Amino acid sequence: MSGYRDAFRRGRGRHRRRRRAPLKPVLALSVLVACSAYMAHAVDDDPTECGPQGMAGPNCRSVPLGNRADNPAGKAGGAEAVPHEGDGAGAAPRPRTAEQEGVYDRERCGNTSGRVLLTLDDWPYNDPQRSVRIGAQLQAQGVRAAFFLIGKFAAQYPQITATLRQQGHWVGNHSFSHQKLTALDEDVLTDEIRQGVGGNMLRPPYGAADEREREVAADMGFRICNWTIDTHDWEKTDGQPRSAEDIRAAVRDATPEEKHNGVVLGHLFSNFPDALPGIISDLRSQGYGICRNTGPVNDQMPYPLDC
């Protein structure tokens, strides 16, 4: 029995005398685990606004990105500014849009792309085929535009609408006879919209559409599509139409807020088409993308408008 007792005691002794891990490696491992947990949490934190070069200090505070003092788009309601692939070198970050907040922005036609949408209204009265020539030039530059045609003229030349869509351009409704919709009674208003170019986007003449007009249009499947940049290309000075250079400058000098997810208004009967090459060049040199032409389209403009 004594032999068994001795063996038992030796076994218990070995168990009691198990070597402990050295203190320093244990402390180092604990620090490493704690730091890893902190870094994983900090990745999702808002940046801090502190002293020079972001040095931490007792007065540092967490600031949402959209409200930082160095945010160039902070004026857009404090919305977060987001860079967008394809905006080009030097483009300012684009602000969060109304669509990203769940609200349709009719001035931007639902544009969430960060790019600029070029639009051409009315009709080239003395040269109907000018529309498709403009469409071909834009297609050759890889640009997709939106044409809002007056219905009574488009009905006389149905091939123009079909050709523009085949060229990769959206064609929308600009009413049947270009009357101010807010001045019409409801029956005439309904006819003006219904008899216009088919589709799902309506540009009301003069941009005039109040709640009644929007509701009537919506009942027929149309969204209102206005603009952020008005080139005033239709204006005349001393009887002379506005020059292509002045029209170009109106776009070039527009604000970043008007260009990000922006919509440019021009007309088919003015010098706006002649200004388009310079407008496209200016926007690209300023770092803005323009809606890309990726091939034929149907009569529906997508929403959100990611072009």
Rounded to 5 degrees, φ, ψ at 286 are: -80, -5
Write down the pLDDT at residue 177: 98
Confidence of residue 306 (pLDDT cuts 50, 70, 90): confident
- Spatial separation of the C-alpha atoms in residues 97 and 217, rounded to whole Å: 23
Yes or no: say if 134 and 273 are a contact pair by the CB < 8 Å rule: yes
The pLDDT tens digits of the residues spanning 242-283 come to 999 999 999 999 999 999 999 999 999 999 999 999 999 999
- Spatial separation of the C-alpha atoms in residues 306 and 254, rounded to whole Å: 22
Mean pLDDT of 171-176: 98
Is the per-residue pLDDT at 9 higher than 60? no
- Spatial separation of the C-alpha atoms in residues 216 and 190, rounded to whole Å: 7
Q: What are the residue boundaries of the structural domains of the chain, listed by start? A: 105-285
Strand 263-267's sheet: what is its strand order? 223-224, 201-202, 170-173, 146-149, 117-122, 263-267, 229-230
Rounded to 5 degrees, φ, ψ at 39 are: -65, -40
- Spatial separation of the C-alpha atoms in residues 302 and 289, rounded to whole Å: 18
Q: Under the phi-then-psi rule, with left for phi > 0, alpha for psi from -120 to 50, and beta for the rest, what region is 28?
A: alpha
Q: CA-CA distances (angstroms) from residue 250 to 6, 231, 234, 287?
A: 101, 5, 13, 17
Write down the pLDDT at residue 207: 97
Radius of gyration of the chain (CA): 31
Rounded to 5 degrees, φ, ψ at 60 are: -65, 145
SS3 206: helix
Asked if the 105-285 domain carries CATH number 3.20.20.370, the reply is: yes
Is the per-residue pLDDT at 90 higher than 90? no
| Residues 21, 23, 29, 33, Cα dihedral to 10° | 120
Mean pLDDT of 32-56: 38
Vertex 299 angle, CA 298 and 302, to 5°:
85
Write down the pLDDT at residue 89: 44
Yes or no: say if 153 and 171 are a contact pair by the CB < 8 Å rule: no
Mean pLDDT of 48-74: 32
- Spatial separation of the C-alpha atoms in residues 168 and 156, rounded to whole Å: 21
Write down the pLDDT at residue 54: 33
**204: its two tokens:** 């009301």
Mean pLDDT of 37-43: 40
Mean pLDDT of 277-290: 98
Write down the pLDDT at residue 146: 98
Is the per-residue pLDDT at 241 higher than 80? yes
Q: Which of 40-49, 62-71, 99-108 has the lowest mean pLDDT?
A: 62-71
pLDDT above 70 covers a percentage of the chain that reads: 67
SS3 216: helix
Write down the pLDDT at residue 103: 85
What does the DSSP assignment read for 261-275? T-EEEEETTSSHHHH
Confidence of residue 182 (pLDDT cuts 50, 70, 90): very high
End-to-end CA distance of the chain: 91
Write down the pLDDT at residue 303: 92
Is the per-residue pLDDT at 134 higher than 80? yes
